[in-house]
Amino acid sequence: MGLDRAASSSLPQCPAWRARKKLPMLVPSVQETCRACTPEGDYSFNDVKAAVHRVTSSRMCSGWDEKTFNRSGDLVVVAVSKTLEDCEMSSPGNVKSVLLIVRMAFDCPQCVKVTDDRRPRMTLLFLEHLNEIGGGKMQTDIEEVKHFILQQAGKANCQMAESSTKMAYPFGFAGKNKTSERR
């Protein structure tokens, strides 16, 4: 339908897209058909990298970018380190953007889709690295973000423990119940 090979190779290769290529008249659009290929709210690593690039280059953050970061957690710092070189990250403007991105990544830990990404393992190492390459100039800001992330991770752990307890004992805690007290 007017798509050349180079353009079609960059488009998603999901089953719906393959059907679109075979039956162009029956399937209305690529966006509508490929929307079913990934669950709503799932973000690929490339989506996160693109959002990092947009925010650090424009110094503006859209709601879409914020939502991407909120649902990515620890994956965000991998995207940042793949998107920006150390010399770019160490500039004061970019450090502030990066800290904002990292803070958004842990703003809503229960929103992070991958449960392993709710724990800030890579993020804590990344913040130490960011402090080193910045020469300690932004140490107070980095420490503030680190404190916030640890606080949020603690909340997420408490919520995960509560939800697993509710699943194990849906009607309350095991132990003495009324029938065992009567005996």
Is residue 35 in some structural domain? no
Query: How many Å is the Cα radius of gyration of the chain?
Result: 22
- Residue 126 forms part of a structural domain: yes
Q: Does residue 101 have a pLDDT over 90?
A: yes
In a domain, 25, yes or no: no
Q: Identify the pLDDT of residue 129.
A: 95
**How many structural domains does the chain have?**
1
Confirm if 109 and 160 have CB atoms less than 8 A apart. Answer: no
Query: Where is pLDDT greater, at 113 or 25?
Result: 113
Whether 140 maps to a domain, the answer reads yes
Torsion, Cα of 4, 30, 105, 117 (10° steps): -90
User: Is residue 95 assigned to a domain?
Assistant: yes
| pLDDT at residue 155, as a whole number | 81
Range of the domain at 110: 45-168
Dist. CA 47–CA 83, nearest whole Å: 12
Cβ neighbours of residue 76 under 8 Å, at least 6 residues apart?
48, 52, 69, 101, 102, 104, 105, 123
Q: Residue 153: which pLDDT band, with cuts at 50, 70 and 90?
A: confident
pLDDT surpassing 70 at residue 127? yes
Q: Give the rounded percent of residues in the chain with a pLDDT score beyond 70.
A: 62
Position 52 in a domain: yes
Angstrom distance (rounded) from CA 155 to CA 107: 11
- Whether residue 159 contacts residue 133, with contact meaning beta carbons closer than 8 Å, is answered with no
pLDDT at 42: 57
Residue 75, classed as helix, strand or coil, is: helix
Residue 25 scores a pLDDT above 80:
no
In a domain, 36, yes or no: no
Please count the residues of the chain. 183
> For 137-163, what is the mean pLDDT?
82
Position 90 scores a pLDDT of 87
> Of 93, 69, 80, which Cα lies nearest the Cα of 129?
80
Nearby residues of 107 by Cβ (< 8 Å), 6 or more positions away = 69, 70, 152
Tell me the pLDDT band of 13, cut-offs 50, 70 and 90. very low
Higher pLDDT: 175 or 140? It is 140
In a domain, 142, yes or no: yes
* pLDDT above 90 coverage of the chain, percent: 50
